[in-house]
Amino acid sequence: MQRITAFLAAAMMTTGLASAPVLAQESADSGSQAQAPAQNFSDDQLQQFADASQDIAMISQDYTEQLQNASDEGEQQKIRQQANDEMVQAVQESGMSVEQFNSIGQAIQQDPQLMQRVKGMVQQPQQ
């Protein structure tokens, strides 16, 4: 089962860094992603990542507001699950797998030049 850490996405939105990885596999798999090797990604892959990151940031913002207004833990859990589902869908609709998205996100955290390339793509989307 694929999951997204909604609070991490919300934190990234708050700091303006929507290009870090927000998707995670089951917690058993997330440890292996911590040291993703640097890879060469195509411009198309990076653009897909940038597009998905923007969608995720918007979803996160919407659901963060809903979470703040939730009346109890049960309602919060439902909201988190809806956000997770929508974020996974946004990544898949961008043409990427969750694993690819995570891999690029990990690489961006380790490579400032790669991060700048993606930020440029976010600021100037493909036409």
pLDDT, one tens digit per residue, over 23-50 is: 443 333 444 444 444 568 999 999 999 9
Q: Decide if 62 is inside a domain.
A: yes
Q: Decide if 36 is inside a domain.
A: no
What would the 3-class secondary structure string for 72-119 be?
CHHHHHHHHHHHHHHHHHHHHHCCCCHHHHHHHHHHHHHCHHHHHHHH
Q: Decide if 47 is inside a domain.
A: yes
- Residues listed for the chain: 127
- Tokens (6 digits) for 108: 């961006």
Q: Decide if 71 is inside a domain.
A: yes
Q: Is 12 within 8 Å of 48 (Cβ atoms)? A: no
Report pLDDT for 20: 38
What's the total number of domains in the chain? 1
pTM for the model stands at 0.67
Which residues constitute the domain of residue 94?
Answer: 3-31+42-123
Q: Is 4 within 8 Å of 30 (Cβ atoms)? A: no
Q: Decide if 37 is inside a domain.
A: no
* Alpha-carbon span 29 to 53, nearest angstrom: 21
Q: Decide if 18 is inside a domain.
A: yes
Q: What is the pLDDT of residues 44-92, one digit of tens each?
A: 999 999 999 999 999 999 999 899 999 899 999 999 999 999 999 999 9
Q: How far does Cα 31 stand from its chain's mean position? A: 17
